[in-house]
Amino acid sequence: MAALAAEILALLPQTQCTRCGYPDCAAYAQAISQGTAGINQCPPGGEQGIGRLAAITGRPVTALSPDHGTESPRTVAFIDEDWCIGCTLCIKACPTDAIMGSNKLMHTVIEAYCTGCELCIPVCPVDCIELENVTGAATGWSAWSRPQADLARSRYEFHSYRRNRDVGENDKMLAEKAHVKLADLSHHSLHTDPAILDKKRAVIESVLARARARRDSDNGAG
């Protein structure tokens, strides 16, 4: 990450809420540094956050963009244990791993890790998650602290690392299975028609080639 983008990222509240229109705070910081995003698209940072971004970018202070939300008190998610069905969808949606639980078992939110990002709300199939105001009338950076932002950032970075690692391991396992099948397709298929087997072989080879190209592209980007 370029120096300016890194400095901008350090000034964001790290809620990872995506309300800015970007997938995470780092992507928003990058866009600001490149001049493709405004400094007024972060509702959790609020007016004070815009002032901080203006100071570092040299841009004029502007009002928070209404298209991206409103400055409001900080909230924390709470799960109604009587309604929770243990579907794990909220766990997967949480960017800071603030939700504990497992399949078909009740989930609970670790309040200290919750950023109030709201990403768990739309995925809950039984609507058992509520957001509660935990800062009263305080909004923006008055409702959020640097230590909280640092904690959220570190948890999000670990969450992203683990997610990418799991995806990589899963892709590797699937590729190995595909190579084994490709090596002896006739013994891994119910079909005996050579034409059908050739067609399946071509499909598997194409899938493996795309996966290899994607890995090469990712390695090049890194």
pLDDT confidence of residue 195: 78
Per-residue pLDDT tens, the chain, 222 aa: give them: 689 999 999 999 999 999 999 999 999 999 999 999 999 999 999 999 999 999 999 999 999 999 999 999 999 999 998 889 999 999 989 999 999 988 777 889 999 999 999 999 988 988 899 999 999 999 999 999 999 999 999 999 998 888 777 666 656 666 666 667 667 766 766 667 777 777 767 766 766 776 677 667 666 654
Which stretches within the chain are classed as H helix? 3-10, 25-34, 46-57, 89-93, 146-183, 194-221
Give me the amino acid identity at 209: A
* Rounded Cα–Cα distance for residues 174 and 176 (Å): 5
The pLDDT tens digits for 138-160 are 999 999 999 999 999 999 999 88
pLDDT confidence of residue 192: 74
Whether 140 and 115 have beta carbons less than 8 Å apart is answered as no
Which residues neighbour 156 within 8 Å (Cβ) at sequence distance 6 or greater? Answer: 14, 16, 24, 25, 95, 96
pLDDT confidence of residue 177: 65
Could you tell me which of 182, 186, 187, 190 has the C-alpha nearest to residue 209? 182
Using alpha carbons only, give the angle 23, 34, 71 rounded to the nearest 5 degrees: 50
Facing residues of 67 across strands?
Answer: none
* Rounded Cα–Cα distance for residues 71 and 160 (Å): 27
pLDDT confidence of residue 48: 97
pLDDT confidence of residue 211: 67
Task: Give me the DSSP letters along 91-134.
Answer: HHH-TT--EE--TTS--EE-GGG-----TTTTT-TT--EEEEES
pLDDT confidence of residue 174: 62
